Amino acid sequence: MLQAKTALITGSTSGIGQAIATRFAQAGANVVVNGFGDAKEIEDFRQSLENEYGIKALYSGADLTKLDQIEAMISEANEAFGGVDILVNNAGVQHVAPIEEFPVEKWDLIIGLNLTSSFHTTRLTLPYMKEKGWGRIINTASAHALVASPFKSAYVAAKHGIAGLTKVIALEGATKGVRCNAICPGYVYTPLVENQIADTAKARGISEQEVKENVLLAAQPTKEFVTSEQVAEMAYFLCSPAADQINGTMMQMDGGWVAQ
């Protein structure tokens, strides 16, 4: 379905972003992979996308907290593929601390990476989408784009900001064939979360199962993690003709968290 289209997915060297990049490649899209990690593992992933799905995959190691590197990444994508048809703003980082103890540099980092970078990637790719008359912008938000939790001031502020940005982009692109939506998952089982489980269990003196059930999944009525593959399927659906009239929405994937 996505043959001849190009998808740029930020934060796609692991977790949710990697699953989305894989799903889009499977659907025939060329992909631009972005993120940090082990150089060999990233190159192996990039090559696997090309070899398995017969598409072209480009890797950019751009640091999305630096505007010049964002601009260079978009320019590289435009040069390689002619433009970006699908933009997935997925890169993000987290830090947990009370407001009065929250490190200012962590606030700046989270707002910069989780929110401001999405503004820059959007403003740099939107003109091509409008000119072409088709484009999809998908923002990986969170249940925290809709509700708050204590000790996550920067993350919650950034994700609420993403929700607002999503709506504005949706309105501005509505008559130009551009659709913008946000996916709002609850806890997704990724390597990052897996590491947090072990660390939390040790810190609290409880079992890893207790951490999963009583800490991480306490707010999710299904008591089940969202999977990266489920988020990827939602992203793929939002690029399908069936989603042509879905615009400016927060697609909740939280096991009923926000329904409470």
Residue 225 is predicted with a pLDDT of 95
Residue 203 is predicted with a pLDDT of 77
Known catalytic residues are 155
210 to 60, 124, 213: CA distances (angstroms)? 39, 45, 5
The encoded tokens of residue 227 equal 């999977």
- For the chain, what is the HEC assignment? CCCCCEEEECCCCCHHHHHHHHHHHHCCCEEEEECCCCHHHHHHHHHHHHHHHCCCEEEECCCCCCHHHHHHHHHHHHHHHCCCCEEEECCCCCCCCCHHHCCHHHHHHHHHHHHHHHHHHHHHHHHHHHHHCCEEEEEECCHHHCCCCCCCHHHHHHHHHHHHHHHHHHHHHHHHCEEEEEEEECCECCHHHHHHHHHHHHHHCCCHHHHHHHHHCCCCCCCCCECHHHHHHHHHHCCCHHHCCCCCCEEEECCCHHHC
CATH topology of domain 6-188+227-259: Rossmann fold (3.40.50)
CATH 3.40.50.720 residue ranges of the chain are: 6-188+227-259
Split the chain (260 residues) into runs of 10 and give each run's mean pLDDT.
Answer: 96 97 98 98 98 98 98 98 98 93 97 98 98 98 96 96 98 98 95 79 88 90 96 98 98 97
Give the C-alpha separation, 188 to 217, whole Å.
Answer: 10
Give the C-alpha separation, 46 to 53, whole Å.
Answer: 11
Residue 120 is predicted with a pLDDT of 98
Among 186, 94, 112, smallest CA distance to 142 is for 186
Written as one letter, the residue type at 237 is F
- For 34-73, what is the HEC assignment? ECCCCHHHHHHHHHHHHHHHCCCEEEECCCCCCHHHHHHH
